[in-house]
Chains A and B, each alone.
Chain A
Amino acid sequence: MKMQRRDFIKLLSSSTTFGLAYGYGLFSRLPGISGSEALAKQLEDVSLRPVEEKWLPSICRQCAGGCGVLVRVYGERAVKLDGNPLHPINGGRLCARGQAGLQLLYNPDRIATPLARAGNRGEGKWKPVSWDEALGTVGEKLKALRKQGRPHELAMLTGAQRGLERTVSERFMAAYGSPNLVRYEPDRSLGMNPALNLMQGQAAGFTYDIENAAHILSFNSALLEDHWSPVQLFRAYGNFRRGRKENRGKLVHAEPRLSVTGAKADEWIPIKPGSEGILAMGIASILIVEKRYDENFVTERCFGFDDWTDESGTLRPGFRTLVIQEYPMDRVVKLTGVPRDIIIRTAREFARVQPALAIGNDGPGVRHQGIYNRMAIHALNALVGNIQKPGGVLANARPADLSLPPVSRDRVADQGLSRPRLDGAGAERYAVASDVPASVTDNLLEKKPYPIEILMLNGANPLYESLHFERLVKALKQIPTIVSFSPFHDETTQWADLVLPDTTYLEKWQLDTTYTLKGHPVVNLSRPVLKAPFDGRDTNEVLLAVAASMGKPVANAFPSTRIEDLAKLSLQPLSKGGSGEPFGAPMEELWTRLLEQSGWKVRTEVDFEKLWADLLERGGWWDPVYYRWEWRRALATPSGRFEFYSLGARDYFAKLTGMERDMALQKTPRLVNLQQADAACLPAASRARAGGNETLYALEVNPYFIPILSGITHTNQPWLQDVTGFHVYQNWHTWVEIHPETAHQVGVHNGDWVFVESPGGRVKARVRTYEGAMPHVINLPVGLGHTSGGRWTAGIGENVLKLLQARQEPFTGQEQFKPARARLIKT
């Protein structure tokens, strides 16, 4: 056949058409590439039935801040967390950690069922067991131990437990007969509070009225990163800056590193690590010498400013003498590295702009600031008389009494409770401390004061926190039975025999008291907002069940076997009237406050069921009225005044005997002109020097907590991991911030992988040159480097704590970090 031109063209065009159409048909129906199964699956369950969508109140417990959240529950799924607008702490706002809460709830690495150890300890081999079986095992072991009359050999290490949870643990341990309920959260509890307690006496805690302050002088305090209640602080900060029409608050921040707080501050004063207290003393000396302090307040309300004579007639040095004799300006300049003119300017401004706050560290004691440095910082607040004033330091109001009737104990329990504690708290050297986690490792290892038979881990993960990893592992190996309640396979859980997975906060009851930044007590109530996605159980309910299974004496610890009933029972007193009310809209609050402060409004008894319903709906209760002029509450010292010279400290040292006293005194700062005994009671700021060979280890280490991860127990949350080091473009691994010039000197470049080596150990890190690092000081983030606990945390980065060594703080026995030096070794 002979092809005609026309035919050819037809053939060409038809085949082209076919090709195009075929391609179109084929491509538009390709499986796998066109659909998104995740959403289809997600929507499938709602196509059949109407979906109920509701917002349920709960409390955020990603950190200790106590924010109220609303959970958007869509059908049976929680899809979003937002702030509870009625909540006085956060007023409808939520921080990054709070927003990420669902990644805790729906974390794929949560332990789904109770597990019994299958292999050797620490091997990580498990077999699932039923809850009945698991509870049976625990109950029997506990029963047996108690029967042998050794209930004190049960120990429970908890995390930052509070409220109803704490009550349950306490009652359980008390009824069982063990004194060993230890909060294991080393380094984290030593904020300003111990120092404030020495100077202002024990109170329900202190707070800074940031919102109303006009000037804030921050001494290395992680205000915008690691405050105990971040959202509250952020809210206050927003108002501090722009809340008042003309009066924009000014923030001056002294820190070796340009942190977020430093970046946000109006002025950043780079300062040698650990010399914050000395800077405070330098500022105090300007205030005193130039007579810029509040004379009225100092004479009326303070003790120990001038020299004074004690009972025996000896002349004791006062604060003024301390400042003049020990902190001449030259010395301050030398030790802090801050130029003289900056110190003078800062001091004058601090005195001029009122109300001015001096804030030390509110967060973890990771920056080597001892209690004396913090006293020195706090002394500035007293010098300008900014105590119990709007925009000043406030003592928290008394909380509502939510206690349950006391536990009735039998003879076995009484005997057990009379034994000394595992951590030595409440006795001798630790007479004023409630928990001393620092001594747990040694005492466990040395079986002091007695061996521990059963160890319960309830929210604590000592292996990650500990600076004595090897020794603690050895100690854990000696304990016959370890039960972990962790919802995750964290480091310490690896050494457990039995894991009873806890639920996360959206799945359980809790009742908890916290405070606003203005000292108002807030009672949070949260309940399970949805069915648990895993077969975990609330540890408190487990303890209740175990107690019940153990029969009479122990079972009596709890008036009910349901945690909900305990919450109700605790809240009963609130219905009796007095001050306080369920959360309400802001306008309502303002009105109440006005009425109450002028004495017009008297609350009467209300129906409890109505109150209960109100609390459940609104998320909690608070007392919006604060009485500033209650000086006896605010200054609960032996002298009834603000003590520059702490009589509490003097009493403490006096109580110690011989050796103990000498040991404790040894840890207090050395002074040149004054006696050790006085130095131990005064704000004798000092700079701890970093040990180690300075030529070999040329760089000073300045560890800091990653803001976005701080306070989070379970860091297995990819949203948070992804934004850790945004200021240096580094995430998912540990980095080391170094000044570009120093980097050049030690021969490393941005992006290099190095080992950071200190005399204590080494970690691998990525070099990030950072203009905000001081020359010759390297900054390392703490919070990464878990070895287990989930796919987004195990093996992510390194544990910087490995570089550090510990020392004990004399008053609280808390573990603190010794300043360290390090060098970089290229990998």
Chain B
Amino acid sequence: MKKEPPITMRLFALSLSAAFALVCSGSASAVDQPIAYNHYKHTQELELECTMCHTGVSTQIRATLPSAEICISCHEEPVTDSAEEEKIRQYYAQNEEIPWKRLFQVPEHVFFSHRRHVTVAGLDCAKCHGNMATQKKPPKKAPMAISMKACMSCHRKLQAQIDCVSCHR
């Protein structure tokens, strides 16, 4: 009859892990992009600017995702023999937008402006987006988590505004 703590211990462990799973499942599921875009090739080998495709970076609140039109301006004729590249032309031919999925997203109650951070404050993309530019395949999840903690630590370091109302609208 003695020495049967495992039952309660197991219950304890089980409930903890279940709770943990529940909490975690709320966030971040893996993201699959429609086209296997290679950031490394574009930014490092071809040395293209981020703003070439994310045209909103310096002037807009949102960086914006490239429209099919932007892609086709270089890829109208095949540049490589990749099947992925062919998809661009397919989308374009069907007059469809490429259904890019957003990887980085701030909640809607946050008033984040790329213009403010890039143009006015002169921050590097990598500051928030991590090593996105050197990714050879579309990452399944954001290489750098966007969290309020991260925002705040940077704001404190750079002595930017840390009033709630500066970011929360």
Contact = CB atoms under 8 A, between A and B. Distances in A.
Given A46-B61, A49-B56, A51-B62, 18 more contacts: A1-B1, A4-B5, A14-B16, A15-B11, A15-B15, A17-B19, A21-B23, A22-B22, A24-B22, A24-B23, A35-B108, A40-B108, A43-B108, A47-B102, A48-B67, A49-B67, A50-B59, A50-B64
Interface residues of A, number: 31
A40 B106 CA distance: 12
Contacts of A15: 11, 15
A580 B65 CA distance: 49
B60 interface: yes
Interface string B90-111: 0000000100101000001000
A37 to B, nearest CB: 10
B108 A21 contact: no
Given A7-B5, A25-B23, A14 B62 contact: no
Nearest to A43: B108
A552 interface: no
A6 B25 CA distance: 32
Q: Which of A4, A10, A25, A28 neighbours the largest number of chain B CB atoms within 10 Å of its CB?
A: A25
Given A7-B5, A48-B67, A18 B60 contact: no
Interface residues of B, number: 30
A22 B67 contact: no
Interface string B1-45: 100110111011001101110110110000000000000000000
A26 interface: yes
A260 interface: no
Contact of B19 (A1, A18, A28, A51): A18
A12 to B, nearest CB: 10
B55 interface: yes
A39 interface: yes
Contacts of B61: 46
Contacts of A411: none
B108 A36 contact: yes
A49 B22 CA distance: 35
Interface string B135-153: 0000000000000000000
B108 A47 contact: no
A29 interface: yes
Nearest to A34: B107
18 contacts: A1-B7, A14-B8, A14-B12, A14-B15, A15-B11, A17-B19, A18-B18, A21-B16, A21-B20, A25-B19, A29-B25, A36-B108, A43-B108, A47-B62, A47-B65, A48-B65, A49-B56, A51-B62
A214 B59 CA distance: 51
Q: Which of A6, A7, A26 neighbours the largest number of chain B CB atoms within 10 Å of its CB?
A: A7
Contacts of A610: none
A11 B11 contact: yes
A48 B91 CA distance: 15
Nearest to B70: A49
Contacts of A40: 108
Interface in A772-808: none
Closest 9 pairs (CB-CB, A-B): A21-B19, A25-B22, A18-B15, A14-B12, A50-B56, A7-B8, A25-B23, A10-B8, A29-B26
A592 B20 CA distance: 74
B77 to A, nearest CB: 24
A245 interface: no
Interface of B: 1, 4-5, 7-9, 11-12, 15-16, 18-20, 22-23, 25-26, 55-56, 59-62, 64-65, 67, 97, 100, 102, 108
A147 interface: no
A46 B55 CA distance: 12
A14 B7 CA distance: 12
A40 B108 CA distance: 7
Q: Which of B20, B23, B55 neighbours the largest number of chain A CB atoms within 10 Å of its CB?
A: B23
A10 B56 contact: no
A291 interface: no
Classify the interface of chain B: helix, strand, loop or mixed.
Answer: loop
A46 B67 CA distance: 12
Contacts of B62: 46-47, 51
A632 B92 CA distance: 71
Nearest to A2: B1
Contacts of A43: 108
Contacts of B25: 25, 29
Contacts of B65: 47-48
A10 B108 contact: no
Given A28-B26, A36-B108, A50 B8 contact: no
A11 B5 CA distance: 10
Contact of A17 (B8, B15, B55): B15
A26 B23 CA distance: 8
Contacts of A2: 1
Nearest to A7: B8
Contacts of A14: 8, 11-12, 15-16
Contacts of B60: 50-51
Q: Which of A1, A15, A17, A48 neighbours the largest number of chain B CB atoms within 10 Å of its CB?
A: A48
B12 A49 contact: no
Contacts of B102: 47
Interface in A513-537: none
A1 B15 contact: no
Contacts of B55: 50
Contacts of B18: 18, 22
B167 to A, nearest CB: 16
A593 to B, nearest CB: 39
Contact of B16 (A6, A18, A24, A50): A18
A1 B108 contact: no
Contacts of B26: 25, 28-29
B84 to A, nearest CB: 20
Contacts of B1: 1-2
A466 to B, nearest CB: 48
Contacts of A10: 5, 8-9, 12
Given A47-B64, A48-B67, A39 B23 contact: no
A318 B108 CA distance: 75
Contacts of A50: 55-56, 59-60, 64
Q: Which of A10, A14, A35, A51 neighbours the largest number of chain B CB atoms within 10 Å of its CB?
A: A14
Contacts of A24: 19, 22-23
B10 to A, nearest CB: 10
Nearest to A29: B26
B64 A48 contact: yes
A439 B1 CA distance: 107
Nearest to A28: B26
B53 to A, nearest CB: 12
B19 A39 contact: no
Contacts of B23: 21, 24-25, 28
A46 B61 CA distance: 9
A18 B4 CA distance: 21
Contacts of B4: 1
A14 B19 CA distance: 11
Contacts of A22: 18-19, 22
A277 to B, nearest CB: 55
Given A17-B16, A18-B19, A40-B108, A11 B8 contact: yes
Interface in A47-89: 47-51
A40 B4 CA distance: 53
A134 B32 CA distance: 50
A21 B8 contact: no
A640 B56 CA distance: 67
A20 B100 CA distance: 37
A515 B4 CA distance: 95
B26 to A, nearest CB: 5
A616 B48 CA distance: 39
A43 B169 CA distance: 14
Nearest to B54: A50
B21 to A, nearest CB: 8
Interface in A671-724: none
A18 to B, nearest CB: 3
Nearest to A18: B15
